Amino acid sequence: MTTHSDSPQTGYACIQRYVKTLDSSPGVYRMLDSDSRVLYVGKARNLKARVSNYTRPGHSGRIEKMIASTASMMFLTTRTETEALLLEQNLIKQLKPKYNVLLRDDKSFPNILVAKDHAFPQIKKHRGAKKEKGAYFGPFASAGAVNRTLNQLQKAFLLRNCSDSMFDSRTRPCLLYQIKRCSGPCVDLISEAEYRESVKDAERFLSGRSTKVQEDLAEQMMAASEAMEFERAAGLRDRIRALTQVQTSQGINPRGVAEADVIGLYMDSGQACVQVFFIRANQNWGNKDFYPRVGPDVSAAEVMEAFLGQFYDNKEPPRQLILSDAIENADLMQEALTEKAGRKVEILVPQRGEKQELVAGALRNARESLARRMSESATQAKLLRGVAEAFDLDAPPDRIEVYDNSHIQGTNAVGGMIVAGPEGFMKNAYRKFNIRGDDLTPGDDFGMMKEVLTRRFTRLQKEDPDRDKGMWPDLLLIDGGAGQVSAVHEIMVEHGVEDIPMVGVAKGVDRDHGKEEFHRTGQRPFALKRNDPVLYFIQRLRDEAHRFAIGTHRAKRAKAVGATPLDEIPGVGAARKRALLTHFGSAKAVSRANLADLKAVEGISAGLAQKVYDFFHDKG
C-alpha cells in the first residue's frame, strides 16, 4: 500500500503530485481530506490513467468539490481489475466515504430450512450462516414472506416446526395437530417413511416442481374419494388449497425465469430507490426496497454498479441478475460475481418479453416507494421544523435522542436510547444499557438515568471528540419532569456538554396523553395544544423509547430466568449445559451428582466432569 499524507497542497496540485508516482497496475485508490477522513474510494484498470483524469477540469459539481477537498491519497495495487472491484466495494461499505454511492441497509435475508439431523425433519425459518445440516430454500425478502409461506406449507405437508427437545418430551399431540398443521410424528401418528415422503414433497414444491406435487395430491384425493375415505379426501383437498394459496400470495410466478434477482432503479431529485424481487424456483419469494445514498449528479449506471457490488459483497448471487439499467463494467461485475458464486452468474438488461415485464414491475414499485418516502420525508422535515420552533432550537434537529428506563422493583434494570432524524426512526443507532450500578437503590430512576447518560457522554467524547461525525444529538428528550431535568442537567455540566438542548417530557395532569408538560432548565414548564402535530410526534418518540426499553428489559428478564449455576463453569457451553440438564433434570440435581454419574453424560469428558464436580463441591 502506498500513502502520502503530509502534503501541503490540496486539490489538482495534490493529485498531480501522486500521478508521477503511479504505474499502470490495476488497483484501488482513496482520496482523503486534510483530517485524513476518506472522501472517496475508487477502482481502476490502470491507476495512473484513472487518477490522471482528476487532474483535468470538466468534472461535475460533486467531483469538483471532492477534488478541492483532497489533501492526500492512498493506493493499493491488485493482481486483476476484478480483485480491485471487489476490494473497492468492500472498502466503501467499511469506510462509508462522503462522495461514494452507499448502500445503507444491508441486512441478511431469511431462508426456509428443512433440517436433516433428525429422523422426522423440522421445517423452520433460518437466518445467518448455513451451518445446520439440511436443505435451504431462499432468500425470502422478509420474515413476513417466510412466515406466510411456512404457514401454508404446514397446512399442505403437515411437517413439524417444534424444537427437537419439545418433540422428544411430548406424550400427547400438540394444538398444531388438532388444527391440522402437523401430522403428529412426536407420538407416532405417522410412520417415518410416510413423513419422509411429505418432506420430499415439500422440498419438490420449494424447488419449483409444484405442479407435480399438486398432481400427485389430486390423484391421492380421487383415490381416497373412490374408496369412500371422505375424511382423508377432505384433508388432501385442504392441502391442495394451501399450495394454491402460496402461489396466489406470490403474485408473480414467471415461467421462463427459474432463479434471478430482478432489480429496478428509480431516481428523482437526488434520491434513489432500488427495488429487488427475489425469484427462486420460478416463484416470487418477496421484494424489498433500498435507498442508497446518492448525489444530485450521479448516473443510474454508477448507482446500479455500486448497489450490485455492495449488495452481493456478503450474499450469494443467483444465476441471473435482471437489471433496469445497464452498468459500465458489466463484464467485470459478471466475472467477479461468477468467481464469488463458483458458477456462472449472468447480468441482463432485457428490452422485451417476460424478463422486461418483470423489470417494469420492479421499476413501478421503486417509483411508488420513492414517492412515498419523499412525501414522508417532507412531512418529517415539517415536524422537525415544528420541534425547533416549540423548543427554541437554532435549527431543525438532525438527531434526536430519547431515553427511557425499564425495571421491576429495580431488578433486571435497563436503559434504552432511541434515535430519530429527517428520515424517521434510525433503528441501527438504538442502544441499550444494562444498568450496572451496585450502589443504586432498587427503583432509583435518577440514579439509572445518571448511569446511562454518563456512559453515553463518556463514549461520545471518546469516539467523536470534535463532534463532526454526526454522532452527537441536537436534542435530548428525557422521560420526566423538573426533578429529572435538574438531575440530567447536572450530569451534562459535569461532562461539559450543557450546550446540547435537553427537554423533559412529563405526563402532566392525570398522566394523560395530550396533557404532557415540557420542562427545560431554568424555564417554566409549558404545554403544546392538544391537536398540535408536534405533540403527536413527541408522543410517538416517547412511546417508541418506552417500547424499546420494555422489550430490552423483557429479553434480559427471560434470559435471567433461564440462567443456572452451570453458566458460570468454564467449558460448559450451551450444548453441554443442555446435555447435563437433560440427563439429570435440573441444575440442583447436577450439583448433587457424583463424579462417576457426571462422566456418564454423553459429551462430557472426564476432565470436564471433574471441573463440574469441583465447582459444586470445592466452594469452601
The alpha carbon of 424 is separated from its chain's Cα centroid by a whole number of angstroms, namely 16
List the domains of the chain with CATH numbers.
Answer: 2-95 (3.40.1440.10), 111-250 (no CATH), 259-371 (3.30.420.10), 400-559 (3.30.420.340), 565-617 (1.10.150.20)
The helix (run of H) or strand (run of E) holding residue 479 is strand 475-479
Predicted pLDDT at 549: 85
Model pLDDT for residues 286-323, shown as the tens digit of each residue: 889 999 999 878 999 999 999 999 999 888 899 999 99
pLDDT score of 2 more than 60? no
Summarize the confidence of residues 343-370 as an average pLDDT. 94
The three cell numbers of residue 412 are: 433486571
Give this prediction's pTM.
Answer: 0.72
Model pLDDT for residues 421-470, shown as the tens digit of each residue: 998 899 889 998 887 765 555 556 777 888 889 889 999 998 888 887 78
Summarize the confidence of residues 79-83 as an average pLDDT. 91
Predicted pLDDT at 5: 45
Quickly state the pLDDT bin for 155 (edges 50, 70, 90): confident
- 63 SS3 class: helix
pLDDT score of 202 more than 50? yes
Asked if 362 and 276 touch (Cβ cutoff 8 Å), the reply is yes
Summarize the confidence of residues 524-544 as an average pLDDT. 90
Predicted pLDDT at 51: 95
Residue 20's identity, in one-letter code, is: K
Residue 129, CA distances (Å) to 94, 192, 214 in order? 20, 29, 32
Quickly state the pLDDT bin for 6 (edges 50, 70, 90): very low
Predicted pLDDT at 444: 66
Summarize the confidence of residues 487-499 as an average pLDDT. 90
Residue 590, CA distances (Å) to 56, 560, 562, 564, 598 in order? 76, 19, 16, 11, 8
Sign of CA dihedral 505, 509, 511, 513: negative
Mean pLDDT of the chain: 85
Lowest mean pLDDT among 84-88, 112-116, 565-569: 565-569
Quickly state the pLDDT bin for 556 (edges 50, 70, 90): low
Highest mean pLDDT among 319-328, 482-491, 596-605: 319-328
CA atoms within 13 A of residue 134's CA, in its CB half-sphere:
24
Residue 432, CA distances (Å) to 15, 328, 410, 462, 549 in order? 44, 44, 16, 18, 8
Nearest-angstrom CA–CA distance, 577 and 583: 10
Is the backbone of residue 543 left (phi > 0), alpha (psi -120 to 50) or beta? alpha
Quickly state the pLDDT bin for 7 (edges 50, 70, 90): very low
Predicted pLDDT at 585: 77
Model pLDDT for residues 257-267, shown as the tens digit of each residue: 889 999 999 99
